[in-house]
Structure 1
Amino acid sequence: MLPVGDGQEIFYEVAGNPDGIPAVFVHGGPGGGTSRQSFCFFDPRAYRIIRFDQRGCGRSTPSVADPAADVDELLEVNTTAHLIADMERLRTHLNIDRWLVFGGSWGSTLSLAYAQAHPDKVLALVLRGIFLLRKTELDFYYNGGAGHIFPEYWDEFLGAVDEHLRPAADDIHGRTRIDGVDLIEQYHRLLHSSDWDTVTDAARRWSMWEGLTSHLDIPHTPGDHGQQAFDVAFARIENHYFVNHAFIGDGQLLEPGNIDKIRDIPAVIVQGRYDVVCPMKSAWQLHRAWPEAEFHVSDRSGHAADEAQTAARLVAATDNFARRFG
């Protein structure tokens, strides 16, 4: 556990070769926490592998999933700038000069933001399921677009919202959203309710929406999604960031001046063609703005990192960097 200020301690774990290439795994969500799977993308003979749980989730403390927690107080000190500072504190604590930064989904957002803030500390970037946290991306996934692809799961997602604020499942006009209603805002109210049953029901629906739509081939079990402690931390933190647009400007990560800061960092981008959570358009726009980075499309993958084609490309990327920097 590493104290990072504001009463927060982040969990971290180091594995692999103590003298290997330092590599940090940046998990998604935000609020998703890490699992042992984080290590599987790196050859442990070549890499010193670091994984950590971002503030408020996983094994980091205090957790926003604690029913007794002052969630507003905890989230006030949970921003992109705080997470970037935590990564720097961890890097310094581990006496690392530069490290390979590996992130997918929200992890790609934070990895890009970190690299643009500290380009001299990044040896290389491996990015998957690109998420630039723009309003268009949030609207597509949380305000109806993805509901056209997963209507049965969309109905479940809508179930937490007051009936007069959600489109009916049998709406003859095919609406997936009521004009003027932002479902992210509606969920924000539910996730901050004083009634714990309301919080846990909303958290489960929010979490399962992502868990069930992340794979091209829908798995029998959606991983940690559906487990109460995970769901509450995941939903509360993710929603907090989305309501606040990740505390960055819309399109900020694509601005030419910010891309120029990372242009010379060796990088690999891997994107699932059928990613519904983080649709490919964002990855394509990042590729156009940053053609120096290798760009690979997995034509048989959705959003998840463990889908065969995406996983193979990610492992190939870290193996290639191991040969380059080892």
Structure 2
Amino acid sequence: MTTLYPNIEPYATYPIAVGDGHILTVEECGNPEGIPVIFLHGGPGSHCKPHHRAFFDPAIYRIILFDQRGSGRSTPRGNLQDNTTWDLLADLETIRKKLNIENWVIFGGSWGATLGLLYAQQYPERVLGLILRGIFLARERDIHWFYGEDGVNRFFPKQWHEFTQLLPEGRWETPLAIYYNYLTSNDIKEAENAALAWANWGNCVVTLGQTTQLLEQSAEIAEIFNEARIECHYMFHHCFLEENQLLRDVDKVADIPTILVHGQCDLVCPLESSYLLEQQWPAAQLRIVPAAGHLACEPEMIATLVEATNEMAKMVATFWKN
């Protein structure tokens, strides 16, 4: 089975100011003269990790990773001001221009796939190809599936009950609004409790119920809080997108080489999303991973993604200009 490439270190790491007080941490690794590829992490509010560099052949790709606004090593951490989907798209263009890149491959999973597809729809001339994993279409039904009643909560009734314990009685139908109020509250204890509950619910679904509860005493409480705060901010505001926008505008990327990768057992972003895209997108190839869920680190998913990056390098090599 295909595995990740060996771990590598960046040959350059630097801050890039993108305006509004936000400074992104950007790193490059691999081949400085290779095919540019930018890795878009999920969340929103998560961050890049060392193994994310290893999905790409370092001899072929110029690998670019960055932490999105308010996330990971970017500052100010957890900041919601001037932090919208459209700000993130502008940031991608700032990075591209700063690095003097004409066009690049986009690699994103979950929320990263959402952002990558939207970027391609806005700047199709800048995209060599797309590799999108476990795509989240950010429709009302997709958000409700994860944070509303009669969705994925039916698979995890005990954990859903724990998630809704913080809600006022009779308000289970609007958890996003209430959690948003908690996570933006000046009451630090209330906000941290909400962040832990938010993270526990998300981790439960992502790992198919195999994770243990996060501890309030964890040294990572600040990171948990920042991630929950940003993710809730985006979900509460419907990711700052119009309803069904990504499917509606798929014709804008009709000719871009694309590989969609989706786990058959993905309960975070059901396979339906990638299937609907494939039906409307002649250039897209859908690779279903039968035994995989949502996580990119599962062995079968790793194999499929690495094979996809190798294949994409061959697909774009004929028209990529160094």
- Normalised to the residue count of structure 2, the TM-score between the two structures is 0.88
Secondary structure class of the residue paired with 1:13: strand
Deviation at residue 151 of structure 1 after TM alignment: 2.0
Offset of 1:322 from its aligned partner? 2.0
Q: Which runs of 5+ in 2 are unaligned?
A: 1-14, 318-322
- Contact persistence 1:98–1:120 (CA under 8 A): yes
Taking a change above 3 Å as real, the CA distance of residues 55 and 318 of structure 1, as seen in their structure-2 partners, is same
> Using a 3 Å threshold, how does the CA distance of structure 1 residues 219 and 309 change in structure 2: closer, same or farther?
farther
Match for 1:191 among 183, 187, 190? 183
Matching residue within 66, 76, 81 for 1:76? 81
Q: How does 1:173-322 map to 2 (within 5 A)?
A: 178=172, 181-216=173-208, 218=210, 227-255=220-248, 258-322=249-313
Is the 8 Å Cα contact of residues 216 and 301 (structure 1) preserved in structure 2? no
Instruction: Report how far residue 292 of structure 1 moved.
Output: 2.2
After superposition, what is the alpha-carbon deviation per residue over 1:256-315, rounded to whole angstroms, capped at 9, x for unaligned? xx2121111100000111111111111111111113201011110111111111111111
- Aligned pairs for 1:75-224 within 5 A: 75-144=80-149, 145-162=151-168, 164-165=169-170, 178=172, 181-216=173-208, 218=210
Which deviations, in whole Å up to 9, do the C-alpha atoms of 1:193-250 show, x marking residues without a partner?
A: 111011111111112221222135835798xxx7312211111111111111111101
Q: Match for residue 36 of structure 2? A: 22
Distance 2:210 2:97 in 1: 40
The separation in 1 between residues aligned to 2:138 and 2:294, in whole angstroms, is 15
CA contact (8 A) 1:100 1:122 kept: yes
Determine helix, strand or coil for the equivalent of 1:10.
strand
Q: Matched residues in 2 for 1:90 and 1:165: separation?
A: 46
Q: Which runs of structure 1 show a deviation greater than 6 angstroms over 4 or more consecutive aligned residues?
A: none
SS at match of 1:2: strand
**Residue aligning to 2:320:** none
Contact map agreement 2:156 2:209 (CA 8 A) in 1: no
Aligned CA RMSD, in angstroms, stands at 1.7
Which residue of structure 2 lines up, in the alignment, with residue 32 of structure 1?
46
How many angstroms does 1:321 deviate by? 1.6
Counterpart code for 2:109: G
Q: Is the 8 A contact 1:216 1:303 kept in 2?
A: no
Please tell me the residue identity of whatever aligns with 2:272. K
Alignment partner, residue 76 of structure 2: 62
Which SS does the other structure have where 1:75 is aligned?
coil
CA deviations 1:154-184 (Å, max 9, x no partner) are 222223223x135xxxxxxxxxxx4xx3111
* SS class of match (1:34): coil
Aligned partners of 1:152 and 1:45: how far apart in 2?
Answer: 48
TM-score by length of structure 1 reads 0.87
The alignment partner of 2:119 has SS state of helix
| Aligned counterpart, 2:12 | none
Distance apart, 1:19 and its partner CA: 0.9
Identity score, percent = 42
